[in-house]
A and B are shown apart, each in its own frame.
Chain A
Amino acid sequence: MDSITDTTRKKLDISDYFNLYKKLKEGKKPSNKKGIKIALLSSFTVNGIKEVLSVKCHEFGVNAEFYVSGYNQYAQEILDTNGSLYKFEPDLIILFIDARSVFGDNYLLPYSIGDQQRKKFVEGKLEELKSLAEKIKSNSKVKILLHNFEAPVFSPLGILENKQKFGFVESIEALNSELMDTFKNDKQVFIFDYNAFCSKIGKDNSMDYKMYYLGDMKLNLQYIPELCNEYMAYIRPLMSLTKKCIVLDLDNTLWGGIIGEDGIEGIKLGPTLEGRPFMEFQQYLLSLFNRGVILAINSKNNYDDVIEVFRQHPHMVLKEDNFAAMQINWNDKIANMKAIAEELNIGTDSFLFMDDDKANRQMIREAFPEICVVDMPEDSSLYLKTLMDINDFNTLQITEEDKKRGHMYVQQRKRTEFQKSATDLTEFLKSLNMVVTAEKANKFSIPRISQLTQKTNQFNMTTRRYMEDSIKKLAEDKNFLVFSVKVEDKFGDSGITGAAIVKKVKDAWNIDTFLLSCRIIGRKVEETLLAYIAREAKKAGARKLTADFIPTKKNSVAKDFYKNSRFNLAKKENGKEVWEYSLKKDYKFPDFIKFVEK
């Protein structure tokens, strides 16, 4: 990272962004950077968004290119399927249409039309917006960020506004609510809650009337950086730049005071003046954990002191069961951070670090520039707000497995601890009481199967990526067997952590895709699945199995899998290996795993 980026974590003025943008444009374009193409379509002159977003993207090592529509040309540009918008091939379209432009004269003369007419008008606008979104969707896979509308805080009717049958303010709220409902399950269109954004900055501030009359600015220039911050919550998951794990300090972070000195009775935590900020901070951490964020501890403390707080303190919201890794010892924080990354097997670039101590923060920042180190406020009453403002955990969709992720890493920690105490691997595996379930792809599992093909890099035999639509097609094709894999054991349910796609070629079934999450490999789940595929193939009259293996930089863990499973290498061409297994001999299921087929 270079000097431009260091400054952008701080709160900057809009003019700072313009300056940084200039520097960015003058500088050399690094060639190895990720890129994103953003089209900005709006009903008025938007100045500043391109500049601020370019700088913010640069901060994350992303090179942003922009397409900005002509003044109020958004509809024409969307409808012109051969036009420059589609030629630009954007990854994201931001559609920022403001209420004034939509309502025209009716915005300031809302009651020049009756309730019935207003209803019709709003319905018409909804249809227009829907059809614009549909038009884009039929031409491109681009993600669409569609603004809703700022509900006004004025009304010529004053206090009687909400006595109308279908009032002016209500009409905009209705439009917003319809937009939300329409696209609730849409994976391409996301509603940007501009109304909530305006509430956040204060609707009295959102418009600077002077600037509106002078330069047609519908949003006060000074708030463009904040608007762009909200946009980043969508851009980051698009570019796989989301954080997954919060690494926490304990003393003066999760509770007030120092456990080693103040003792369990002395620390500040609970429904008291000094304890409440910490209790509520923990509550919000817990709700992040429940949406799938992984929690970990990096603290210099006596382990036993801390465990006592977890087990005995009446107001401790977070429990041991919420932490996927607990480095509580007297090692330095850098070593502990490395240990956490190793234990969780995820990159430190997906970490966010919270520690009240400035020196610790600086140390981590220097050792791991890729970790997002949160500047914790001096005053603990601002901890909750600081946490709520973090939008680094956003994903564009959330599967059931995502929600369970925090829990699953905790189970993994317990499993590892248990394994350490076990003397023999087979005994260990037997004592896990594993149940492996293979389920044919259905509408509930298809998004997850697709996600696994996109994200799994290590134990993935072919690394073939499939979009949801393709998985759906294959699942409906009777020449294919597509299934997901779920593993349960005495520590819990892993959710869907594996998948396979098998082509039922008459004589020899071909394993096109075979993948498992790293968390569950080495526990004979792989063999169980091969046994299942072999059994099904044999039942259908096939005489052999063929299986592809395509080596990549990341899947070396899988390279001997077919060999160790007694397959024979049949051919090797263009970097692809084809392995074979004759079905004359049965493929045995491991005897300590219960296998369920659904």
Chain B
Amino acid sequence: MKELKKIVAKILSIDEIKVNDALTMKNAEQWDSFNHLLLISEIEKKLGITFSIQEVEKIKSFRDLREIVSSKIK
């Protein structure tokens, strides 16, 4: 999860502390549709997992992201 937070923080240009379940696409200014795809692409590359197109669509917050990622890493 530490690595995931790092990636999110980097792409959204925010502090890692601010990467928590309260973070959503709606309240994070930098989290636009392009950065969303960039985020997915980077997570896939760095963590060696792949998302389905439906999953990418479903993710709207850090919580969604965290849950899907942890289900894949197990």
Binding site for B on A (CB under 8 A): 13-15, 18-19, 22, 47, 208, 210-211, 213-215, 217, 220-222
Contacts and interface: CB of A to CB of B under 8 A. Distances in A.
Contacts of A210: 40, 51-53, 56
Given A13-B42, A14-B38, A19 B51 contact: no
B25 interface: no
A213 B53 contact: yes
Contacts of A19: 10, 13
B53 A214 contact: yes
Nearest to A209: B53
B28 interface: no
A215 B35 CA distance: 11
A15 B56 contact: no
Contacts of B56: 210, 214
B49 to A, nearest CB: 13
Given A15-B11, A19-B10, A222 B45 contact: yes
Closest A-B pairs by Cβ, 6 of them: A215-B37, A221-B41, A15-B42, A210-B53, A15-B11, A47-B34
Contacts of A217: 37
A13 B56 CA distance: 21
Contacts of B11: 15, 18
A217 B37 CA distance: 10
Nearest to B34: A47
28 contacts: A13-B42, A13-B45, A14-B38, A14-B41, A14-B42, A15-B7, A15-B10, A15-B38, A15-B42, A18-B38, A19-B13, A47-B34, A208-B41, A210-B40, A210-B53, A210-B56, A211-B37, A211-B41, A213-B53, A214-B53, A214-B56, A214-B57, A215-B33, A215-B34, A217-B37, A221-B38, A221-B41, A222-B45
Contacts of B52: 210
A47 B36 CA distance: 13
A49 to B, nearest CB: 13
A592 to B, nearest CB: 69
A22 B53 CA distance: 29
Contacts of A211: 37, 40-41
Interface in B16-55: 33-34, 37-38, 40-42, 45, 51-53
Contacts of A213: 53
Contacts of A22: 13
Nearest to B52: A210
A210 B56 CA distance: 9
Nearest to A47: B34
A213 B56 CA distance: 11
Contacts of B38: 14-15, 18, 221
Nearest to B11: A15
